[in-house]
Amino acid sequence: MVLFREERLRYLDRLQPLALFVMRLALGAIMVSHGYHKVFGGLHHHAQFVASLGLPAWTAYLSAFAEFLGGLLVLIGLFTRAAAFAICIDLAVAIWKVHWHNGLSGNGGFEFPLAVATLAFALIFFGAGPIAMDHVLRGGGSWSRK
């Protein structure tokens, strides 16, 4: 009986590429939406905000582009691990400097950035998976049937 259950659960292993794809889409969409307004709507204001946190103002540019460009790269699955690493660092700093004093949950808490950072952290170690440009460019994907 236990063996039968284990074999049924092994079927889920075949769906791991789909899970990585969904993780990438979720992380990419969230980061692009958060980075878009910083890059195209208020980079100077974001720099002032970052400076008010006691960080150098130039790090705001790193933050904004890590979110926007990193999110785009994660969405298409290109340089996924590097982009996820930049996003994870960005979110760790956001949690430390902006959200930590508000606690885990509630208004301004670090619950959401922690969940998103966890997605990025997982993609650093698991990679983009086979449904990604990284996989195709490495020669793992094929566009035609043989």
pLDDT tens over the chain, length 146 residues: 566 677 778 888 889 999 999 999 999 999 999 999 999 988 999 999 999 999 999 999 999 999 999 999 999 999 999 999 999 999 999 999 999 999 999 899 999 999 999 999 999 999 999 999 999 898 765 444 33
- Concatenating the DSSP letter of every residue in 18-86 gives HHHHHHHHHHHHHHHHHHHHHHHH-HHHHHHHHHHTTS-TTHHHHHHHHHHHHHHHHHHTSSHHHHHHH
3 state SS for 111-145: HHHHHHHHHHHHHHHHCCCCCCHHHHHCCCCCCCC
- Looking at residue 106, its pLDDT comes to 87
Q: How far apart are CA 126 and CA 23, in angstroms?
A: 11
pTM here is 0.88
Rounded to whole angstroms, what are the CA distances from 105 to 30, 115, 120? Answer: 19, 12, 20
pLDDT recorded at residue 3 = 62
Output the pLDDT for position 144.
41
The answer to whether the CB of 40 falls within 8 A of the CB of 10 is no
SS3 label, residue 107: coil
Two tokens, residue 142 = 């094929």
Overall residue count recorded for the chain in this entry = 146
* Per-residue pLDDT, 145: 39
The CA distance from 22 to 92, in Å, is 22
Q: 68: which 2 tokens?
A: 């926007």
